[in-house]
Structure 1
Amino acid sequence: MTIASCNIQLPSSSCYSSCCCISPTTFPKPKPKQLSFNRTTASLSDMDATTNPGLYPLHRCKTLHLVRHAQGIHNVAGEKDHAAYLSEELFDAHLTPLGWQQVDNLRKHVRETGLSKKIDLVIVSPLLRTMQTAVGAFGGEGYKDGIDIPPLMVENAGESHHPAISSLNCPPFVAVELCREHLGVHPCDRRKSISEYRPLFPAIDFSLIESDEDILWEAKAREKNEEVAVRGMKFLNWLWTRKEREIAVVTHSGFLYHTLSAFGSDCHPAVKNEICKHFANCELRSVVIVDKSMMGSDPATTNYPGKIPSGLDLPSDVADEKHAEEGVAT
């Protein structure tokens, strides 16, 4: 398994690095080499920094679990006829029955791997298909009568024919407009009013969305790819204002592709490809973003200062240098 560190210069003065842990890959078997353990003949200057692992303080990193929504009715219609994306019948598209099966499979995966216990926050695009995916994959267990706590999703929300989903024993959910899909022209990417969503998803926090109505989507103007990427960078900047360290983001194919395509240019081509390839429906990929510009100020929670109680602890190599200097001085 290799870890590659990849940088991008943001529109502002900030700079991010995205690190992606990739699964083992089969490479040609190297020829046997004669190894010597007596002495290292190569100097550090001879080593290619781009082929070696990178290090960075853990508290200046965040782990993102990126998820594309499950199959929606617009995916099915658009696969048959691309012109269908212009249909008002696909307005704020909901998940298909197959899409809900994909959500159930993802839910099993995040529980079997222990990921569900690690996530501190779920960020979700405020569209029906993403919210259905998010609460289905990361929500609590079956809603229980008699417990005075709002569910994440009420029964049959968005023509789902799905039972209510509990908000018990799960991370908080926050809706954020910055991670919406390509804006404009396609009705499937236009959202309902927040006042319509709240009764359907009572435990999702919509407080960060400023307008009840969708004022971002335009009928005659489609957002440019470059504009989606810039919006994605703003979204990553915003994530650094959050205290949470492991965050699930449930969003859209176009948003993920154009945002992530800005990363990986200084990585191995295989890593670049892994970061930037299109997401399948309900696919999850975990990545690490690194704060190289000191935007965050959170202290390291796992670091320990050492030397408590105090005592002599001069490293041997430093001691040798110190004594050698003292010997010269005398």
Structure 2
Amino acid sequence: MDVTSFIKYTNVSGFFLQDEPSTDPNSFDYAASDLGLMKRTYSTDQEYNPEQKKTRWERFYHQVSELNLQASSNVRYKVIYMGRHGESVHNVAESYYGTSAWDSYWSKQDGNDAVTWADAHLTEKGIDQARAANKFWALEMATQHIPAPEKYYTSPLDRCLATARITFDGLQLPAQQPCIPEVKELLREVIGIHTCDRRSSKTYIQTNFPAYTFEPGFAEEDEMWRPDSRESHSVHDGRMKKLLDDIFTHDDSTFISFTTHSGSIASLLRVIGHREFRVPTGAVIPVVIRAETIRSEPS
């Protein structure tokens, strides 16, 4: 008798301010609020932190570890730091032309007389935003002992590849957890029509980001982008669900970094049942995800 299974994802609230309806995404500053980590006590504090000398991040790490230790065999918890790329050329172009003109005409062009936004690159502001994220991580790791990612994944689009490199460059990472981002095709932005979301070749990525690795089967040319159709929310959500299935099935890491896009972050939040929370360019939103593998036997 065949047994089928699927993985159900749930956002575990109560850890980060971004989960709370009272937190306004328009004014929220991830760097000024320790990524939104709440000031709270945990069930593990009495045993783990009797002298109250551990940082909030150390206590959070211990709590998540305990969740996994106590979980049943079909349940796993992961913490994903979802970072949006810094400001890019296409973001400026859309602001300049207006969303209506951008969507109807300019987004379908490779650029204008002044700039190119096909596979859009970071602006100077975007580079500065990634540098600010780098300073945030360096300070938090040194003073608050924020758990460093154990694994790094990035969209194949240039603005994410560059953001990941700048964000994690030069950090004092654990020797067993170096920053070697893996390029994931499914982690890219909404696919289709907009040329800013058409990726460059694998050769281009290898040449410009030689330290990066590729998931198995990563194609030389972009085989997913289409000039005449664009993903719906439901199709995008299905792609993000497939991405999570892959990572939860094959990656044993608990703390993971995604460098991706606003649309894909929004989709991931929908998949795990998180409330809508728009993330500005260069910002980060962390989530605690509970994954439960549900098996069923056909009658």
1:281 is matched with 281
- Cα deviation, residue 263, structure 1: 3.4
TM-score, reference length from structure 2: 0.68
* 2:223 aligned with 1:215: yes
* 2:109 aligned with 1:109: no
Give the conservation status (yes or no) of the 8 Å contact 2:12–2:289. yes
- Cα deviation, residue 22, structure 1: 2.3
C-alpha root-mean-square deviation of aligned residues, in Å?
2.9
* 2:77 aligned with 1:61: yes
Q: Describe the SS at the equivalent of 1:260.
A: helix
From 112, 133, 157, the equivalent of 2:163 is: 133
Change (3 A) 1:226 1:135: same
Partner letter of residue 128 of structure 1?
D
Q: Which has the higher helix share?
A: 2
Deviations 1:20-54 (A, max 9, x none): 42239799xxxxxxxxxxxxxxxxxxxxxxxxxxx
User: Based on CA coordinates, which of the two structures has the bigger radius of gyration?
Assistant: 1
Q: CA separation in 1, counterparts of 2:211 and 2:183?
A: 11
Give the conservation status (yes or no) of the 8 Å contact 2:108–2:193. yes
Q: CA separation in 1, counterparts of 2:176 and 2:110?
A: 36
Give the conservation status (yes or no) of the 8 Å contact 1:67–1:282. yes
From 89, 100, 116, the equivalent of 2:127 is: 100
Q: CA separation in 1, counterparts of 2:140 and 2:162?
A: 21
Q: CA separation in 2, counterparts of 1:209 and 1:281?
A: 30
* 2:237 aligned with 1:243: no
From 138, 153, 161, the equivalent of 1:123 is: 153
2:184 is matched with 176
1:262 is matched with 271
* 2:45 aligned with 1:15: no
Structure 1 stretches of 4+ moved >4 Å: 24-27
* 2:242 aligned with 1:234: yes
Give the conservation status (yes or no) of the 8 Å contact 2:149–2:177. no
- Cα deviation, residue 56, structure 1: 7.8
Q: CA separation in 1, counterparts of 2:68 and 2:158?
A: 35
Q: Describe the SS at the equivalent of 2:293.
A: coil
Gaps of 5+ in 2: 23-64, 70-75, 112-116
Give the conservation status (yes or no) of the 8 Å contact 1:230–1:259. no
Higher mean C-alpha deviation, range 119-128 or range 108-117: 108-117
Deviations 1:82-141 (A, max 9, x none): 323222121000000000110011111111111676211110000100000011101336
Partner letter of residue 6 of structure 2?
S
Q: Count matched residues.
A: 225
Seq. identity, %: 26
Partner letter of residue 254 of structure 1?
G
Give the conservation status (yes or no) of the 8 Å contact 1:18–1:289. yes
Higher mean C-alpha deviation, range 125-134 or range 110-119: 110-119
Change (3 A) 1:230 1:207: closer
